[in-house]
Amino acid sequence: MSQSHDALLSTAQARAALNQRVKVLLVESLGLEIQPALIGDDQPLFGRGLELDSLDTLEIVVMFEEHLGVTISDDDRAAFGSVNKLVDFVVEALGEIPRMEALA
């Protein structure tokens, strides 16, 4: 049984909105000098990607707790691979794609 076209479109839009929201949060909370839209969904966050370090990791953990209500623990380090992996983690933790209107 496949979802209707409208349902798929709605899911895709919610996912894109969440990715964009996470990029904005990353830029704001880490003080990155880059436009959120220029961060790739699969661009590595560390090393040659966004050049984040371990202190930024904690910043992301605190920011996710505050803004998305999701706790990333020490065992979930794989979530820091990219924006997509961070968002995958949020969606799995919440059991659904949070609607941006509901997030402050």
Partner 1 sequence: MSAAAPVVPDGRKLSFDANQIRQLLPHRWPMLFVDRAYDVIPGKSGYGIKNVTVSEPFFAGHYPDQSIMPGVLIVEAMAQLTAVVYASAWKEETAPDDEAGVDTAGRVGYLGAIRQMKFSRLVVPGDQLVLRAELGNAFGTLTPVTVQASVGNELVAKGSLTVTERGSGGGNGLQ
**Residues of this chain that bind partner 1 (CB under 8 A):** 53-55, 57-59, 61-62, 65, 71-74
Compare residues 19 and 57 and give the one whose CB is closer to partner 1. Answer: 57
Compare residues 55 and 102 and give the one whose CB is closer to partner 1. Answer: 55
**Tokens representing residue 104 in the block:** 């402050």
Compare residues 2 and 54 and give the one whose CB is closer to partner 1. Answer: 54
Phi, psi (deg, nearest 5) at residue 58: -65, -35
Least spacing, CB of residue 77 vs partner 1, in Å: 8
Contact 86, 80 (CB under 8 A): yes
Least spacing, CB of residue 62 vs partner 1, in Å: 5
Least spacing, CB of residue 65 vs partner 1, in Å: 8
Rounded Cα distance between 34 and 44, Å, is 15
Compare residues 27 and 97 and give the one whose CB is closer to partner 1. Answer: 27
Least spacing, CB of residue 93 vs partner 1, in Å: 14
Rounded Cα distance between 73 and 70, Å, is 10
Please name the helix (run of DSSP H) or strand (run of DSSP E) that holds residue 16, with its range, or none: helix 5-30
Which positions ≥6 away from 35 have C-beta within 8 Å? 27
